[in-house]
Structures are given as structure tokens and as C-alpha cells.
Structure 1
């Protein structure tokens, strides 16, 4: 009898250990890559990249402040030693991509979108120019993994870098025949010869700039029609769409907004609620992300700001 009890107790212990091991393996398993999900780093985030990678999100907007010698420091406040864009974002991001054979994650089909947003009180033109040149040099150290544009030839890579917060960034970028960063645009740039997709490949606007719906009630037919029409126009113009600045509200309201954005075909949904957004996208996959060519892909020559693809065809190669 005692032997039977001992054996039974042992089996229970083995089962408990096996369950714990299974749970640990499940926790370590990487989440599916959510190309539509984009994280907005908070000013208080000391090291923003690990959480983004852990949640499997396909992009990150990080605020930076120019510091001594043109180095870029994370956050809008005074530069803090060691908290540089190079050390905390660029080096680990590209190191991970190299370790995974040229992709950030197994399911990656489109570039990871890194938005470098210049912030801070110092808006001196010379300081910003020096900081841009420093960023450009740091990016060229990883040229083989970056989306880049050579003249009018646009080639997607594992990472696409966009720059925001510098008023004349388009002039700076346009001066480089081969560039490894791009400017962010607005819906006003659609069809503009002065802002071709090779210079401004992504439309990026805060939700509140054109919409008032906060997700608490059903969206109006007018706003839904406007959203779908604007996204469709951007895609027909050869650009992707990123929407940020979503209203603060309950989890239910935020999910309603995410759902509407996905239904409209918005390519990049940016939010600071990384966990909630990743969970929502895993449960409600965005069907528009199918039929993308694997990375790396062939170059696309952009001779005109309007592609020749049929109306409604969303298989343009995104950057």
C-alpha cells in the first residue's frame, strides 16, 4: 500500500514538472510577427526595443534628442549617458536580424518600420543637420539590411527607417542620390510630384487630424467612407498608411478603432498599448497582408508617383 502511494505521488510530481516545463516553453515561444502593429515608445521607456520584439510588433516610433557630437539620445529630455539610439535600438535590432538570416522574425514579409522622431527644445538648424548626418552614417553601417532608394529605384529591406520632426528633412534626403532613410508624409502628399514614393513612401497622420470618432459608439457612415477612401487613394499612389494618435479610452473602444483601421486597409496601426494591440491583431489578423513577396525582394522602379497597378490592388511592395 505504501509503495502504491509512493508511486502515485511520484507520478503526480512528474506531471506537475512536465506541466511547468510546457508552460515555460509556451512562454518562451515567440509571438507571431504582427506587421500591422506599431509601438509608440513612451518618454519613460528606458529601453523600448525588447518589449516591441517580445510582442512581435512590426515597427517602433522612438523619440530622440540630439546630444554632444551629433549623437542621438532616447527621449525628449536631457541626454543621458548610454541611452543612445545606436546602443539601445540600432545595434540590437540589426544584430537580431543578422542572427536570424536577414529577417527579424520567421513570419516577417514586410520591412520593420523604425520611425526616428526628433524632439526636444533645441531646433537649431545646424544641430539638427549634424544629428541627421550622424544618423545617416549609423544607418549606412547596416546598409545591406535597410530599405533604400538609388535615384528612382526603391528597394525594400528588412528595416525601413523614416525621419520625423525635422522641418526640412525632405531637402536633406533628396540631396542624397542613395538614401537609407525616408521622410514621413501626410494625405496631402498624395499625387504630389514634389514628394514621390521614393522620398515619402509612408503617409503618417494622427487620427484626430481628420477624424472625431473615439470608438465608444459605432463609427458614422461618413467617417468610415472617408477613412476607406483616403487609404485607398494612398495605396493607389504607391504608399503605405500609418495612423497614430488614437483616442485614449476603454479597451473596448480601442479595439473598435483598431478593427475599423484594419478593415479600411491601414498598413500600420501605431499605439502605446503594445500588449493589447498585439493580442488584438493575433485574434483578428489583417487579411490584407497576404500575397506579399518575401524579403528580400526585387527592386521596384518608380518612374511616376502613380503606379500602373489596377485600382484596389494592394500588392504594391511596401517600404
Structure 2
């Protein structure tokens, strides 16, 4: 994707949400000494909390986005994939909010030292959306200086951008807020609607419901054109794109699919394989 197009696509979210340019190879080692290792902005840690060290493992692998599923239990937001896995000690605050705040303080105001682009924290609501979001908003407000904020029609970038996914009822209270510390994860059905990137900065959808190709053999021309059209339409509105349910088994099929996603300008590769994605993206550096 042309740099001017990329800049134009992300204008709505502010310069701090724009992609970081790669340093020339001859300058990378010196730059990394000053800035730290280059983050992998394309890497999204699906179900991040299932790794041995939630958040920390993904950050060690330089991921640009992590995902936490939450359940509202009383006034607590517990992190788990299924209700049977809930534990009082595994809260959104203890696993994500407090560690991120501590890291940002230690790293001079950013999640990755020297890189101002925010980390994306995708929060997937598993209980009723409206009530869960209201409690989530109270939690995020306690860390207001950590998060990108939408206030009275303007976006103010912070070290972390929270994007709310899951139960769609969360959108109702979000849209009513003059000030909020989170954004909404849209679907392809949200294309053409009135909501802008200041509410919906991310479009996510199920790959298998939109495409038949799983990385084996040639990518059908019609599906490649469809994918690139989706990305172009989203980027023109200042939105990013992610697909879930893409093949995640290491091998040629996954490499082929990820290569096509990057070539089309898809913003996040959805994966449970932290080390595998890190190796792939280090080999296929694009931006």
C-alpha cells in the first residue's frame, strides 16, 4: 500500500495511530538500541489470556494487539474463554490494566520504548453487552491517561487503544457518551453506515464466512479482488481490518494465507502462535 494512502486512511485516529516506518537495515541496530526492538504492529494475539503469562508473553514477542475476553461477575470483569474457566484472581485489571499502566510508566510513556503508536487492547464482551460495557467504562476511567480517548468529537491518542468487541449491545451506551475511553469493533455489515472511525476504528469478521480459500493452492482471483476491495474501503474510511478464523496451523497453507493478507493490506494477523507469527513477520517486513 502507498504511504500516502496509509497516512490518509489513519488520519481520523491521529498521527499516533499511524504505522511506524521501518528503519533501513543499516540503521536498525542503532535505532533499536535507542528505541527497543521494532514492534510487530500486524500481530494480534487471539485469546491472549490463554498463554502462560497473559499480556507479557505477547509483549515479549512484540505484538501490536492483544485480546482479552471478559465476563461481568458482580462488579468485577473476569478474563476467561468460557464461564467454567472463571477465577476471581484473573481480572481484566490484574492481567492487563495494571501491568500496562506499570509498563507505560517504566517505558517513558509508551508500551514499546520509543514507539508512539498505541498498543491495541481488544476486549471481547462475553456477557450482556450494555451492562458489561458500563462496568468496563468505569474500569477504563480509572486508567484514563493510559487510553486513547474520544472526547466531544475529537480523538486524543494514548499509549493503549481499547477496542470493544463481542456482544453488540455495547454499542448503544458507547454511542451515547460524550467522553469514552474505548472504541467499537465493527463488522463488514457496518460498511456504509454513518459511524466513522472515531467510533469504529476496526472492522473484524469471520474469514470462513466470507472466503473459501484457506491458503492451499492458488488464491482465486475473485476472492483476492474481494479482499482488496474490503481493505481499500475500510482504509478509505480510516479503519483497520482483521479477520478471525483464519488457518493457524504452522505450515505452507498458513504462510500462504498470511502472505496474501499482508499483500492486501490487512492490518492484523489473528493468531494463537506467538513465536510463529513473530518469525513470519520478521521475515516478511512490510511496514
TM above 0.5, yes or no, is: yes
Deviation at 1:107, TM superposition (A): 5.4
- Contact map agreement 1:207 1:246 (CA 8 A) in 2: yes
Which runs of at least 4 in structure 1 moved beyond 6 Å after TM superposition?
none
**In the alignment, what sits opposite 1:65?**
71
**In the alignment, what sits opposite 2:80?**
74
Q: Could you list the runs of 5+ residues in structure 1 that have no partner in the other structure?
A: 1-29, 288-319
Cα distance in structure 1, aligned partners of 2:48 and 2:59:
16
Cα distance in structure 1, aligned partners of 2:101 and 2:48:
22
**In the alignment, what sits opposite 1:50?**
56
- Contact map agreement 1:148 1:154 (CA 8 A) in 2: yes
**In the alignment, what sits opposite 2:143?**
142
Deviation at 1:197, TM superposition (A): 1.6
Q: Does 1:160 align with 2:161?
A: yes
Q: How high is the TM-score relative to the length of structure 2?
A: 0.81
- Contact map agreement 1:38 1:268 (CA 8 A) in 2: yes
**What is the total number of aligned residue pairs between the two structures?**
252
Cα distance in structure 1, aligned partners of 2:158 and 2:192:
25
The alignment partner of 1:110 has SS state of coil
Deviation at 1:50, TM superposition (A): 1.3
Greater radius of gyration (CA): 1
Q: Does 1:222 align with 2:228?
A: no
Deviation at 1:192, TM superposition (A): 1.2
The alignment partner of 2:270 has SS state of strand
RMSD across aligned positions (CA): 2.0
- Contact map agreement 2:78 2:87 (CA 8 A) in 1: no
Q: How high is the TM-score relative to the length of structure 1?
A: 0.74
- Contact map agreement 2:150 2:179 (CA 8 A) in 1: yes
The alignment partner of 2:123 has SS state of strand
In the TM superposition, what whole-angstrom CA distance separates every residue of 1:268-312 from its partner, at most 9, and x where no partner exists? 22111111111111111123xxxxxxxxxxxxxxxxxxxxxxxxx
- Contact map agreement 1:164 1:183 (CA 8 A) in 2: yes
Which deviates the most, 151-160 or 275-284?
A: 151-160
Deviation at 1:209, TM superposition (A): 2.1
- Contact map agreement 2:67 2:124 (CA 8 A) in 1: yes
Deviation at 1:264, TM superposition (A): 0.7
Deviation at 1:189, TM superposition (A): 1.8
Deviation at 1:111, TM superposition (A): 1.6
